[in-house]
Amino acid sequence: MIHTAPTEADLQSRLTELDALRAAIGRAVVGQADVVEQLLVALLAGGHVLLEGVPGLGKTLLVRTLGQALDLGFRRVQFTPDLMPSDLLGTELLEEDHGTGKRHFRFQEGPVFTQLLLADELNRTPPKTQAALLEAMAEHTVSHAGVTRALPKPFFVLATQNPIEQAGTYPLPEAQLDRFLLHVALGYPDADEEQAILARTTGTAEAEVPRVMGADAVLALQALVRQVHVSEDLLAWITALVRATRPGEGAPEVVREYVRWGAGPRAGQSLVLAAKARALLQGRLAATREDVAALLAPVLRHRLVLSFAAEAAQIDADAVIAGLLRALPAPER
């Protein structure tokens, strides 16, 4: 399919929509500018997000607010130890036609048949239910009883998990983690933001979040992201960064010492698309090395399997990624 270059008017119209979306989210969410940007990057790139943060940081509020601002189908599923795959995907019901008395099966769609799915505390459900999302996230389809059903477009999974609570949880397998475009880490708010949160959430007024963007606008933005330019030098740097995460001859010392398994090719694809989406968010039709550097940690942190030496030295994935950037600095402009 041949895409024509967007006109200046088209670009400005799309950027105005994105500004309105940011403003709508800001009506309910205090601060977290970087997190909101990363959510929008994933939305524009057509990828899924794993949100990780300690309790009380507003992970669910953030996703709910995004769902309110987007005129899309929205479902929330609270993942629990007793949740079954059929509770998520759907099941067949035996029904009887009262006129003829004949019985037939009808597929009852589950909550995954939506456009924006909040998978709350995804790591609280057993692996068989976690795995039920694999096809939906990768192929945007659900197969049941020999029939493959397409999910609505766009389809976007936002999953949350708590990094400090391990009792009663089931760590996500690497194959499922790799389905997430970004792993977004939420930190504590600063003092001013925390005071604003207290003032906003303990009174009588409730924030009204307008719907500012529908499915057609999201799909148009996703198509526009694909047209953002990435230079050969930038592609070469992205390729080098991803390949350098794999232990072996030629890998940086920080990788050889602390990484058991590195990122696969999907990480490079994710980094290119995320950099393109960030460029568009900032009103540019060409990605830069700053875009790549800003998104390297969210793209890679869930795709690295660290060694026992890293655990013993209390080295996390972000520290390894920082060392990777020092070992392979960005190319000169």
Q: What is the mean pLDDT of the chain?
A: 88
Q: Examine residue 332 and state whether it is found in any structural domain, yes or no.
A: yes
- Residue 320 in this model has a pLDDT that exceeds 90: yes
CB atoms within 10 A of CB 284: 15
Give the model confidence (pLDDT) of 50-87 as tens digits: 998 877 777 888 888 888 889 888 899 999 999 999 99
- Decide: helix, strand or coil at residue 7: coil
Q: Examine residue 56 and state whether it is found in any structural domain, yes or no.
A: no
Q: Examine residue 283 and state whether it is found in any structural domain, yes or no.
A: yes
Domain count, the chain: 1
Give the model confidence (pLDDT) of 77-123 as tens digits: 999 999 999 999 988 887 777 777 777 777 888 899 999 999 999 98
Q: Examine residue 12 and state whether it is found in any structural domain, yes or no.
A: no
pTM of the model: 0.89
Range of the domain at 318: 229-333
Q: Examine residue 275 and state whether it is found in any structural domain, yes or no.
A: yes
Q: Which residues contact 12 (CB under 8 A, 6 or more apart)?
A: none
Q: Examine residue 117 and state whether it is found in any structural domain, yes or no.
A: no
Q: Could you tell me what percent of the chain has a pLDDT over 70?
A: 95
- Residue 1 in this model has a pLDDT that exceeds 50: no
Rg (CA), the chain: 21
- Pick from 223, 316, 199, 322: nearest CA to 277: 223
CATH value at residue 243: 1.10.8.80
Q: Examine residue 251 and state whether it is found in any structural domain, yes or no.
A: yes
At residue 56, φ and ψ (nearest 5 deg) are 90, 5
Q: Examine residue 222 and state whether it is found in any structural domain, yes or no.
A: no
Beta strand ranges found along 128-219 (DSSP E): 141-144, 147-150, 156-161, 180-185, 213-214
